[in-house]
Every structure is written in structure tokens, then in C-alpha cells.
Amino acid sequence: MLKVRSALPHKTLTCLAALMLAGTASASNTLYVESWRSDDANIWSDTIIPAFNKHYPDIKLQFAPTPPTDYNSALQAKLQAGSAGDIITCRPFDASLQLFKSGYLESLNGLEGLNDFSDVAKSAWVTDDGSEQFCLPMASVIHGFIYNKEIFEELNLSVPNTQKEFFDTLATIKSESRYTPLDMGTADQWEAATMGFQNIGPNFWKGETGRKGLIDGSAKLTDQPYVDTWKELAKWKPYLGRGFEAQKYSDSQNLFTLGRAAIYPAGSWDIQTFNNQADFEFGAFKPPVLKEGDTCYISDHTDIGIGINAASKNKEAAKIFLNWMASAEFGALFANAVPGFFPLSNHTIAIKDPVAKEFISWRSQCESTIRNSYQILSRGTPNLENQLWNVSAQVINGTMTPEEAASETQKGLEQWYAPQQ
Amino acid sequence: MSSSIQPEEKKPFPWHLIVFLGPGLLIYVTFSVYPLLDTLILSLYQEQSGESYFVGLENFVTLVTDENWSSAFWNALSNNFQFFAFHMLLQNPIGLILAVLLSSPKLRLAGTYRTLIFMPTMLSVVIIGFVWQLILSPIWGISEEFLYNIGLGQFFDAWLGKEGSALVTLSFISVWQFVGIPMMLIYATLLNIPDDIIDASTVDGANAFQTFLYIKLPLILPTIAMVSILTFVANFNAFELIYAVKGALAGPNFSTDLLGTFFYRTFFGFQLQQGSSTMGAAVATLMFLIILVGVMLFLFFVQRRIQRFQF
């Protein structure tokens, strides 16, 4: 009697223990992916994960996105509580650098897949001294101009290569049609800095040379290339739409997709929106150079990276996955599933979307750089990125001269950044 | 007399007071007093690489003297005063006039007007911001067409995008939205004025305007004072409309920056700017002090002089 009574709970306990063991065992084979790209959930479940499992059927993947606006704080909280996933999608620069410095991200030094990336691509997720790499570059966005092919045909225009041709084209559109020549507003301010200043600027400050010069202190924002960039921006004003001061980003997108504007200063991520909404053909051209034959520079901005949670129990599996993400196969899958986000690896990748293909083709013709305010320079007070938004919008509005914009931003940088003092 | 007979009898402990006050007090302390005190304390600290240490009033000194912070702070404060002035000069007088018109016994459909005018107050600020942006948009908006039709077309401009007019335009939108609140409060007070006082003034030969000026206005002054203080507190806490229409960078060139948006950028950070909870707490503390001083000045100099009438 006694024996039976004691045997029963014992048996259930064993069962329970076995169940729990099985539970942890199956969990340990699954990699959870933290991300802010909830838009990509289908792409992960339908394309990326099945493709990965063809090679590594034993490693299960679970994509667990958080809405973009909550991502940084939610991730921080989860990492502190020890409940974050194994794979972490990395924001570029300081946000991820903070996580690495706090010990939440695994150092990726020695990871084989990293050899497939250029230094520019890796720059967004490396410590300031360049010694530790903590995220693998995943995708970038490229700046350029998207134009309405039908309007160009109607007015018999060709794609401008030089700055002079660019303004000639704008003048023709303005004088010979009722279309808005250049489709951008300054109400949200960031377009002026991102689609304006950072888009056309690299041709002036020679890409990486100028960007690194600002960081090591050998160049100043008051130097000619920067002032010239703002001067060029100031010349946009007559070609913008009426009341562009109150035109928002979504207004610009709508103006273009409704066929009322000819040229749209773009980020490659706009391709998806335009593919869905525009019923005419559109193409893209790169930021025009000063004169024919000059080396061109493009802003190929590192936007998404991928790293490993330092507290993960499956680091080996996570590394296998990261190495696969560095492969040409992943690059091709991702680039074609999300046109406008480009893989950063050195592999040649066949992209089907014609406009995205045009964007990525510039990589082989031009020198790549990233937005010059993102690495290190936006750490202090006043914040350089915020200042660039403000002054670039003001230069286009005509309420500030290019020289004033240059001296104000340089003064801001000098207040806290030692190499510039 | 009875107490002198049994002096040593103790009153029972007033448990009912604790039972009745307890729940409310608990909620008030947890969600209002504690966060407020915590904010005040947090503003005396600074945080560097995860370590926080006591710095006394340094954050406040930085905020009002360091050029980087002070120019933004004084700009936001001055914008806030302009925003407040607009509400005092437009919202409350218009609310008063509407209330007087509504309380007129000759007006038909008063209930309908009341509901319609009060409606925007109940709408979400995000919707208000979106709708007004569309109305005023130089691209899609109907305001330009409308102005042309009444012959004022040349005065149309991208008001929300110009440094000189953005804050004024936003103030107008805010006034339009909230004019229902002073209207309702004053309307309710006007309805409370006994008819015999009005009748007496009519018998004494006062016309409608004189009745308003000498009879009604003095009687609704306490309500107008209360409306003013509500406007003051609400305006210095304003944030949503600016954020919904102009974003946290409150452009162009910070011309629409209020203390609320300034606080948001400081505390939560913006784009590449890292947020600072301690500096943010300092801004919040200053906002609290400004409102506190404003309310106290009002209580000492205005509220004490106002007489209330009981009918």
C-alpha cells in the first residue's frame, strides 16, 4: 500500500522532469531573432528560414519582431532581464555600440563570414578603434534620384550626369510643363538633410575621404566642399513645388506616385512604395557629379546589422546562421524580397527589380560612403544630426545662407568634439 | 458640558477616515506624488556609462546658462508664452462670446450649436493635426481655393512651414479645438444666474449690453479666472499637437518648439541624439516650477480678490 502510494508521485515527477528536459532540449535548438522589421515577418517565415533549413535542418529559427518605435527600449529591457533572443538585429552605430559596451553583444572577431564585407560596410558596427566587430552588416540603403520616365519622354529629356545637366533638366521641366520639377518638402526637415545634403554631398567631399577627415579633425564643416553642398541645395528652391515649406514626406511620395512631379530625391527604400502605388514607369539616376568623367560618390548607408546575444546558449548555432547570412544565397534572397534594401557583402547579386538594380549598379561605378554625421559625430551636445536637419531645411527655405549653415554646424562640433577643437 | 463630566473617555480612532481616504490616497501617492518626487530627485543626478551620481543643481545651471541648452530652453519658454497669450486673447474671449450667445433665450437650435462647437475638443489631437494639415496643405488643401473664391487668394501661404507663421497657425488650430471648454464652463455659470436679477436690471432700464457688463460679467468672473488658470496649465504642458504636426524637432528652426517638445527630445532622445533621463527630469522640474509659480501668483493676486456670490 505504502509502496504504491509513494511510487505514484515519483512516477509523475519523473515524467514531469522528462517533459521539462524535452522542453529545454527543443528550445535550445531554436534561435530567436529579435528585430524591428515587423514588415519583413512574411519574408522570414516564407523565404529566409526555409532556405536556411535546407542547409541546416537541425537549427530552428523563430523571427520575433517588435514594432520599430519600441524596439530599442524593448530590446534593452529584454537584454537586462536575460530574456532576449539569441540573434539581435542591430541598429547602426551608437545604439548598438552601447549594447556592446554594456556586454550584451558577442564580439564577432574571427567570424568567417565577416571576410565577405568591406570596411565601409562594417564601419557601423565596430568599436571606435576598429578592434572589435560586434554585428554582421545585413542591409544598406542607397541615395539617388528617382524620376518619372513618362514625363522625361514627354519632354524629351535624358538622364542628367553632371550638376549643370541636372539644373538644365530642372529648368526645362519648369518652363515647359506644369509638373513639379523637384519633389521634396522641408516640413519634416529630415528629407532636407538625408535626401538632400547626404545625397548630393559625397560628390563634393569625396565620400570616405571627407567623412573620415571630419572625424580625425583634418577637415571642417566650414571647408569648401560642405559650403558648396549647401550652395547646391540652396539652388533647389526655385524648382521645388509651391508651398514646399509645408510639404511633408508623405506629400512628396503622393505627388510623385500621382505623376505630378518629375524628379524625386530618394532613398532606395522608396522603391517598394512606388512599386505598389505608381502606375507609370520610373527610373533612377545617381547624384550628378561636377563635370563629366569625375569619380562619383554615393551614400550607401549601412542601416541593418545582425549580432549575437552574449547571453545566448546557442552561440555556435547562431554563428552558423550568421555565416550563412554572409553568403551570396542569403544576399540574393533578401535583396529580391525587399527591393531597396541592399545586402552589404561583396558578392555579385542578381537583383530582379529594375530600379533596385540601377541603384546597386552604382556600387561598381562609384565609391561608397555612409552619412557623415552617423559615426561618432552625433554623440555630443549639440547633436550634429539634429543640426544638419535644421540648417539644411533652412538653407533650402532660404532663411539661412550656406556659409551660416557651415559655421553653425562647425561651431556645434567644436564645442564638444576634441579633434575639431 | 458632557465632556467635562467624563474627561478621560477617549474618542475612538477614526478608522472610517482611513478606510474612505485610503484607496484614493494610495492611487494619488503612487501615480502622482511618488513620480513627481522621483523626478525632482532624478534631476539632481547625472548619469555616465551606467553610473549615476549626485551633482546638486548642476543640471539646472547647464540648462539656463550653457549656450547649447539655454538657447533651446529660452526659445521654448518664449514660444510657450506666445502660445499661452494666443489662447488667452482668442480662445477665452471667443468662448465667452459663444457662451453668452448660446445662453440667449431667443437662440434656436442652441443644443446643436453647443454640440458642434464642443465636438473638436473630444477628437484626438492626432486627427485634428492631420485634418488641419490637409486643409492648410498648399498641395491638396482646400484653404487656397477658398481664399481665392472670396478674393483673398494672394494672402495664401504655406503657413505651417514658415518660421514666422507656424506657431501662430498651430495656436489657431489649438484654439479651434479647445474653445468648447471655456464656452461650456461659462455657459453653465450663465445658466445659474437667477432670472430675477436680470429682470431687476431690465426694470431699472439697463439694455442688453449693460446687463451683460454690470450684471452677468461680475457673476461669471470666478469662472473666467478658473478658465484662465486651466488654460495656463494646459498650455505649459502642451505637446501633442506640435508633435503630431511638426514632429519632435518642432521646425522650422524650432519656431514651434514648446517646453513639452523640448522635454521630449531631452528625455527620450531623438534620431541620433541619445536621451538623458536626468537632464530630462531637470526640464520637467523647471516646467513644474513655472506652472507652480504661475498658479501661485494667480492664487495670491487674483483668486483672493474675487468674490463669489451665493444665490
Look up the CATH number of the domain holding residue B90: 1.10.3720.10
Determine the straight-line distance between the first and last CA of chain A, rounded to whole angstroms. Answer: 88
The more confident residue out of A270 and B104 is A270
Choose between B170 and B270: higher pLDDT: B170
Q: Give kind and range of the element (H or E) at residue A148.
A: strand A136-148
Contact map slice: A 164-193 vs B, CB within 8 A: 185-190
Confidence of residue B310 (pLDDT cuts 50, 70, 90): low
**Is there a single domain that holds both residue B32 and residue B147?**
no
**A227: which 3 cell numbers?**
559650403
- Cα B162 from chain centroid? 25
Evaluate whether A243 touches B161 at the Cβ level (below 8 Å).
Answer: yes
Q: How far apart are CA A273 and CA A340, in angstroms?
A: 10
CA A318 – CA A312 distance, rounded (Å): 9
How many residues belong to chain B?
311
pLDDT of B106 higher than 50: yes
Let me know if residue B310 belongs to a domain.
no
Same domain, B30 and B129: no
A173-191 b/e (C-beta count within 10 Å ≥ 16 → b):
bbeeeebbbbbbbbbbbbb
pLDDT of amino acid A10: 47
Q: CB of A402 within 8 Å of any CB in chain B?
A: no
Q: What is chain B's Cα-based Rg?
A: 25
Q: In the numeric block, which cell numbers belong to residue B205?
A: 432700464
Degrees (nearest 5) of the Cα angle A228, A230, A233?
110
Pair (B300, B200) in one structural domain: yes
Query: Does a structural domain hold residue B101?
Result: yes
Give the C-alpha separation, B186 to B227, whole Å: 8
- The verdict on B135 touching A (C-beta cutoff 8 Å) is no
- Cell numbers for B148, please give them: 481665392
Using a CB-CB cut-off of 8 Å, the residues of chain B touching A400 are 253
Q: Are strands A136-148 and A282-285 parallel, antiparallel or unpaired?
A: antiparallel
Q: A14 to chain B, minimum CA–CA distance in Å?
A: 45
- Quick check: A93 contacting B, CB < 8 Å? yes
Tell me the chain A residues in contact with residue B271 when contact means C-beta distances shorter than 8 Å: 190, 383, 385-386, 389
Task: Kindly report, residue by residue over B60-78, the tens digit of the pLDDT.
Answer: 999 999 888 999 999 999 9
C-alpha cell of residue A265: 530625391
A15 HSE (CA, 13 A, CB side): 6
Are residues B20 and B150 located together in one domain of the fold?
A: no
Among the listed residues A273, A226, A268, A270, the one whose alpha carbon sits nearest the alpha carbon of residue A404: A226
Answer positive or negative: Cα dihedral of B83, B88, B92, B94: negative
Pairing of strands A60-65, A30-35: parallel
Q: Are residues B27 and B120 in the same domain?
A: no
- The answer to the question of residue B7 being in a domain is no
On whether both B248 and B162 belong to a single domain, the answer is yes
Q: Is residue B158 part of a domain?
A: yes
The pLDDT value recorded for residue B275 is 79
In a domain, B157, yes or no: yes
Nearest chain A Cα distance for residue B85, angstroms: 24
Q: Which three cell numbers stand for residue B255?
A: 519656431
On chain A, the residues whose CB falls within 8 A of the CB of B254 are 390
Domain that residue B192 falls in: 60-305
Torsion angle of alpha carbons A307, A313, A315, A316, nearest 10°? -160
Task: Specify if B178 maps to a domain.
Answer: yes
Assess contact for B283 and B266: CB atoms under 8 A.
yes
Residues A281 and A279: their CA atoms lie apart, in Å, by 7
Q: Which of A363, A373, A298 is nearest to A118 (CA)?
A: A363
A382 vs B68: CB contact, 8 Å cut-off? yes
**Which parts of chain A have pLDDT scores under 70?**
1-28
Number of domains, chain B: 2
- The angle formed by the CA atoms of residues A129, A379 and A73, to the nearest 5 degrees, is 100
Alpha carbon of B246 to those of A357, B90, B133, B167, B266: distances in Å? 35, 22, 10, 10, 17
| Contact yes or no for A251 and B137 at CB 8 A | yes
> Contact A384/A412 with Cβ under 8 angstroms?
yes
CA dist B164 and B168 (Å) reads: 8
Last residue of a domain, one of B23, B38, B54: B54
pLDDT band at B5 (very low <50, low <70, confident <90, very high): low
Single out the residue of A246, A241, A276 nearest to residue A260, CA to CA.
Answer: A241
Distances (CA, A) of A191 to A37, A84, A143, A162, A244: 21, 34, 11, 22, 12
In a shared domain, residues B118 and B211: yes
Q: What is the distance of C-alpha B153 from the center of its chain?
A: 34
Domain endpoint, select from B7, B33, B54: B54
Does residue B18 register a pLDDT over 70? yes
CA distance A382 to chain B (A): 6
Q: Which of A374, A208, A219 has its CA nearest to residue A298?
A: A208
> How many degrees, rounded to 5, is the angle at CA A149 between CA A145 and CA A154?
130
B2 inside 8 A of chain A by CB: no
How close A245 gets to chain B, by Cα (Å)?
A: 4
Which of the residues B48, B136, B139, B273 would you substitute to probe the A interface, choosing the one with the greatest number of A C-beta atoms within 10 Å? B139
Asked if A71 is an interface residue toward chain B (Cβ–Cβ < 8 A), one would say no
Give the model confidence (pLDDT) of B23-61 as tens digits: 999 999 999 999 999 999 999 999 876 678 899 899 999
Contact (CB<8Å) B271/A381: no
- Residue type at position A222: T
Whether ipTM exceeds 0.90: no
Alpha helices for chain B (secondary structure H) = 2-5, 15-28, 34-42, 58-65, 67-86, 92-103, 110-122, 125-136, 143-149, 166-178, 180-192, 195-203, 208-211, 217-236, 240-246, 259-268, 277-301
B29 with B133, same domain: the answer is no
- Domain membership flag for residue B8: no
B214 with B284, same domain? yes
Q: Which residues of B touch A98 (CB under 8 A)?
A: 274
Q: Please judge whether B133 and A245 are an interchain contact, meaning their C-beta atoms are less than 8 angstroms apart.
A: no
Mean pLDDT, residues B256-269: 91
List domains and CATH numbers for chain A: 29-139+302-353 (3.40.190.10), 141-300+371-420 (3.40.190.10)
* Cβ atoms within 10 Å of B100's Cβ, excluding its own: 18
Check whether B271 has a pLDDT greater than 80: no
Q: Kindly state whether residues B32 and B144 are assigned to the same domain.
A: no
Examine the domain organization and report whether B263 and B114 are in the same domain.
yes
Total residues belonging to chain A:
421
- On whether the CB atoms of residues B282 and B59 are closer than 8 A, the answer is yes
Q: Is residue B311 part of a domain?
A: no
Q: Does A340 touch chain B (CB under 8 A)?
A: no
Same domain, B22 and B104: no
Q: Are strands A60-65 and A282-285 parallel, antiparallel or unpaired?
A: unpaired
Q: Which residues pair with A33 in a beta bridge?
A: A63, A87
Q: Chain A residues with CB inside 8 Å of B272's CB? A: 93-94, 373-374, 378, 383-386
The predicted structure's pLDDT at residue A12: 44
> What whole-number distance in Å separates Cα of residue A147 and Cα of residue A266?
9
Q: How far is B40 from chain A (nearest CA, A)?
A: 23
What dihedral angle (degrees, nearest 10) is formed by the CA atoms of B102, B103, B107, B113? 30
pLDDT tens-digit series, residues B193-242: 888 988 999 899 988 889 989 989 988 988 999 999 999 999 999 999 99
Q: Which residues of B touch A94 (CB under 8 A)?
A: 272, 274
**pLDDT for the residue numbered B263:** 94
